[in-house]
Amino acid sequence: MSSELKSSLSYGRIKNLARYACGFSMLGAAISILTIGYYAVLMIIDTPAIDDAIREEFVEAGRTITINGVSRTLAFVFEITPMLIGIYIFLQAIQLFRQYMRGKVFTFEAASKLNKIGWAVAALAPIGILFETLAVLALTIYNPPGQRQLSIGISETEVYAIILGLLLVTLAKILHEAANISEENQAII
């Protein structure tokens, strides 16, 4: 088995799947970038709309918030940070799927990309919890004493992200070993 899969039925399936996955990854990256850009522009040209969106998300949970320029900007930064990690994941996935489309499956580079994706997915949960907490703190820091809030929450979604991320890291280690075996086989031939 070489690091490049050439003429097999399996490779045709991998190539097709990789093509679709690459397309969806590109779409996900584009949507995430456009969403961040949209909210950044909206913060500049329609502050009341952003304030309404913030109130809808945070006041609905029974919180009293104080929105000003600083708290709005901090909340925005804290809310988009997980999206930036998501964009990183999409970009790594695009590169990985492009490799697969070229037939480079059992390679060290593919293992490295999968490893990066796995750690980024696993990091999404704690970073999401931390930055959601910081967003609540930013929006309540200007409240009168006694009305400031610190909110920390974890759900099964965060646990799923950690497990999925660690699963991908494990698969990356397996792929790395497969690349070793493939390289050894190439040296013998």
pLDDT digits (tens, 9 = 90+) for 85-119: 999 999 999 999 999 999 888 899 999 999 999 99
**What SS3 state is found at 20?**
helix
Instruction: Count the neighbouring beta carbons within 10 Å of the beta carbon of residue 79.
Output: 19
pLDDT, position 147: 73
pTM of the full structure: 0.83
pLDDT, position 3: 47
Distance CA 49, CA 44 (A): 10
48 neighbors 134 (Cβ within 8 angstroms): no
pLDDT, position 49: 86
Per-residue HEC secondary structure of 122-166 comes to HHHHHHHHHHHHHHHHHHHCCCCCCCCCCCCCCCHHHHHHHHHHH
Distance CA 98, CA 63 (A): 46
Distance CA 167, CA 175 (A): 12
Q: How confident is the model at residue 8 (pLDDT cuts 50, 70, 90)?
A: low
**Cβ density class 149-179: b for 16+ within 10 Å, e for less:** beeeeeeeebeebbeebeebbeebeebbebb
Which pair of tokens denotes residue 170? 């494990």
Q: How confident is the model at residue 1 (pLDDT cuts 50, 70, 90)?
A: very low
**Stretch 1-10: mean pLDDT, rounded?**
55
Residue identified by tokens 């969806």 is: 24
Strand-pair partners of 4: 104
**Stretch 141-160: mean pLDDT, rounded?**
80
pLDDT, position 100: 93
